[in-house]
Amino acid sequence: MSADNPRAGSLRDELTGQAPRGFRIAFPPGWRHYPVDERGRAALLRDVAERARLAGRPDLDAALRRKVREQLDGLQRGRGVAMYVPGPEAASETGMPMSMVASRWLAPAGSALEADVRARAGTEVVRIDLPHGTVLRWMVERDGASTREGVHTRTVSYVYPEPGDDPRRGILLTAGILHLGTPETDSVTSALVELADAIVETFRWS
């Protein structure tokens, strides 16, 4: 599964002298890729409605669609490239929702990417040197009282600096895991973090 270079930021590309670089990333069987454009929006909304129907919960359809629209609107404003979501067959293996989002990272003029990431992450950032490149990783935990949906979330974020002459560019991969926040589900949550780490290790620049 891979994502192509977006062309929406043509003005930014002119100002920075080059178009964003493409990348590829592999997911387990059953995961679905939704580009952050009108085609991806229509496909994701269609799949959400189908999931609500199969679950016998048509009452959730409107709420889920509204949530998806809000997420996609935020991605479009925030240089989002793609959303990756496990399909019904993959989601049933874990029992808890997980998704991953890819976005472009562009540090302000005069700032190096790693310094900008550390300044904006709001928590400790770990630098990991892999055979195929460097990745910056951090994790944030939020309890139900601090989220709009009233559920616990564990967010694991990764930034790969983009090779090339512009030290400000990178790709941000954000794994979002919803969980119950109980000792019984902690092992599954930890396993999903390990899954996110394994997925992100497959990332390669095109």
In this predicted model, what pLDDT tens digit does every residue of 90-106 receive, in sequence order?
Answer: 665 555 578 899 999 99
Mean pLDDT (whole number) for 192-199: 94
Which residues, 6 or more positions from 62, have their beta carbon under 8 angstroms from its beta carbon?
Answer: none
The token duo for 183 is: 């000792």
Q: Predicted confidence band at 6 (pLDDT cuts at 50, 70, 90)?
A: very low
More confident residue, 148 or 74: 74
Q: What is the pTM of this model?
A: 0.80
- Collapsing DSSP to helix, strand or coil, 34 comes out as strand
% of the chain beyond a pLDDT of 90: 40
First to last CA, the chain: 12
pLDDT tens column, 22-74:
999 999 998 999 998 889 889 988 887 777 777 676 666 676 677 778 878 88
Q: If pLDDT is split at 50, 70 and 90, which confidence band does 183 have?
A: confident
Instruction: Give the contacts of 4 (CB within 8 A, at least 6 positions apart).
Output: 22
